[in-house]
Amino acid sequence: MGLALVMVGATPAHATAEPGITIDRGRTQPVFSYADAIREHVYVESSVDSDADGRLDRVRVDIIRPRESGPGLKVPVIIDESPYYDNSGRGNEAERKVYDADGNLAKFPLFYDNYFVPRGYAVLNVDMSGTARSDGCPDVGGRGDVLGGKAVIDWLNGRATAYRADGTTVTADWTTGRAAMIGKSYDGTLANAVAATGVEGLETIVPISAISSWYKYQRSNGVIYNRDYMSWLARYIDTDPAAKCATVRARMDAEDGDDTGDYNPFWAERDYIAGSLGDVTRVRASVFVVHTVNDLNVKPDNFSKWWQALAERNVPRKIWVGQYQHVDPFDFEGRRDIWVDTLHRWFDHWLLGVENGIMREPRADVQIGPDRWITQRDWPAPFTMKVPFRPAADGSLGLLPARKGQTATFTDIRQSEDAMIADVGTAKPGRIAFTTGVLPLDLRLSGSPVIDLRVALDRPTANLTALLVDFGEETRVDWRRGQGITTVAEEDCHGESTATDDACYRKVVTNLATRPLEIVGRGWIDVQNRDSLSEPSPLPAGTYGKVKWEALPQDYIFKKGHRLALVIGGTDSTYSDEAATGANVTVDLAKSRVLLPLVLVMQLGDLPKDKARWHGPRQLDLPVPDNRFF
C-alpha cells in the first residue's frame, strides 16, 4: 500500500500492527519511534560537473526516516540543504553533523528530525555541491549549487540516480515524492533557487532570511557592498584544499563585474525572480517566507521583491516579518512554540493534504515592537497611503513642495551613516538633512519607501545614500548587539531525543536599547545606474536628471511626539565598499520627494474623527481610518 493515514477516532479499514501516519486535531501525531528510525546516506548524481573532473557531481544526502517507511508506508520529505554542515554549523548553537562508525549521521543539526520523524516524515540533510562530503565546487548560487539540489528532488521522484557508498544504485521507494525545502540564509536561498527551476515534487519551501537575487545581496542599484565576495564565500564553505576549486573562484572574480557594479549574466544566473537559470514564473511550490526588516546581512529587499513577485502570480504563500537582525524564527523571543506549531501545520497541509485551516488564517504575522506582534491579511499592510514628504530649503520636511528654484548641495564623500545623521540641524558639506515637526500621532511605515530626486552633478556620476531617521527617545530591539538576541542557559525541547541527538535548545531573550534616534530606512544608488542596472548612463555635467529608487523595506512605528528626518549623502562607508566620486551634488528641492507607505495608528480621542492635521513646518491633512492596525 502507499501512504497510510489514520484519523484518531476512526477505525481503519485494514488495521495493522505497525503504526501509520496519525492525525488528530489537524496535526500529525508522534507515533513513530525516533530512536529506532532508519539512518542512512546516499549520493545523488547531479547534472553538473562543477569541478571539471570529468564526472558528474554526486551530492551527499543524509536521511532519517521512520523504521516503518518503505514500499508499504510512503512518507513525505523535509529537506535542509546547506553548505555549512562542516564549517559554521547550523542554528543559534552552531550544530554540525556528527557521524557514527558506519558513516551515517548520529546527530542531525536542528530540531526538524527530532520533531517531524516521529510524526511520519523523512528528514534529509543535504551537503550542497562542493561542500562537506559532496563532490564538486561551490558555485555560490549558480548552476552547480542549484541543480545539485534539484537532483535530490528528482531522485525522490524517480527521475535521477543515487548510489550507496559501495557504488550500488538505490531508489527512494519509501517516499511519496512530496518534498519541502527549508533553511535559513544560504539554506533558504537554495530553497528559493530550486523552487525557481519548477521541479516537480517540491510542494513547498520555507526560506528564512534567504536570498532571492544574489545581485541584491551584493549590490544596490550599482553600488557595491563587498568586492570579490562571491569567491571569498566559495572558499569559506569549501573545506577541500584551496587548489581544487581555485579555477572556479578565479572565474567568479573575472565575471562578477566588480569594476562597474552592473547587473550582468553572472548575476542573472543567480537571480531567482527573473533570472536565466530559473525564475518566479516556474515556481510550483507554496512559499512560507520569514525575514526581518533589520537584516543587513541578507537585506530585506531580498524578501520583499520575492514576495511581490509571488503575489503577482498568486502563489499560495504565508509570511512572518520580524524586527531582529539575521535571526531564525525559532529564536524570536516568545514565539518558539508558535513557530514550531505553525511550521507543523504548514507541512501537514502541503505535504499530507491535512485540512487544518492554515490557509484560511491571516497571511502575515508582523512584529511592530520589541514584544508586540500582529496578524494582518497580507504584507505590506493593506490600505497603506503613499504619502509624499518634500524637503525644503529651510531644512523642513513636509507635504508641500519647495519653491521653484530652491536647491541644496553636498559633496559625495565617503562617510559612515552615523556621521551622516549627526547634528542634523547643522549644515555639513557631505550631506543635506530635512526634518518634520513633532508628529501629532503614531504613523506606521509598512513597505518600501521611494526616493525620488532631481539632481545635477559636476562629474559623470555619484553614489547617493538616503536615510530615514526616527528622532525620539524609545526602547527598541537592539539588533546591532547579538543580532537582537541573547542566549540564556534554560532550554526547552521540541521532539524526541537520543543520547547523541537531543531535541532541546537554549532559549533566548530580546536585546533592548533605549536611544534618542533610530535609522529606519536605507537606500543606495549609483547615479549612472538610475535608468538601468545593466547599461550605465553617466549624467552630463550640470544637467539635471531624475534619480528614483526604492529604499529597503521596513515595518516600523514612528511614535507620536517624535520627528522624522530624511538625510541624503554620498558614499556610505558602513555598508558599501565603494570609493567616493568627489562629485558635487545639487538637489532640485522643488522636484524632489520621498514617498512613504504609511498607515495611521491611533487611539480613540487622539484627534477629531473627520481628519488629522499636522501643524508643523508643513501640514498633514489625511483621512483617518477606524481605530485598528491594517
Catalytic residue IDs: 185, 295, 326
- Tell me the C-alpha distance between 80 and 92, whole Å: 16
Q: Kindly report the backbone phi and psi dihedral angles of residue 620, in degrees, each rounded to the nearest multiple of 5, phi listed first.
A: -105, 120
Matching residue, cell 527549508: 182
Question: Cα–Cα distance between 460 and 565 in angstroms, integer?
Answer: 28
Cell of 182: 527549508
CA dihedral 323, 329, 331, 334 (to 10 degrees): 80
| Residues comprising the chain, all counted | 630
Strand 175-184, strand 75-82: pairing: parallel
Q: If DSSP codes are grouped into helix, strand and coil, which group holds residue 424?
A: coil
Helices (H) and strands (E) in the chain, counts: 10, 38
CB-based burial label for 165 (10 Å; 0-12, 13-18, 19+): exposed
- What are the angstrom distances between the C-alpha of 210 and each of 77, 189, 304, 330, 386? 21, 5, 11, 15, 27
Do you find a cis peptide bond into 380, omega within 30 degrees of 0? Answer: yes
Q: Which residue has the cell 484518531?
A: 8
Cβ-based neighbour number of residue 538 at 10 Å: 12
Contacts of 46 (CB under 8 A, 6+ apart): 56, 57, 58, 59, 129, 136, 144, 147, 148, 151
186-196 vs 143-156: helix crossing angle, rounded to 10: 70
**Quick one: CA dihedral 127, 131, 135, 137, positive or negative?**
positive
Cα separation values, 84 from 131, 209, 392, 498, 604, Å: 8, 15, 50, 23, 51
Q: At what angle do helices 246-255 and 229-237 cross, to 10 degrees?
A: 160
Give, in order, the Cα–Cα distances in Å from 150 to each of 208, 273, 359.
19, 17, 27
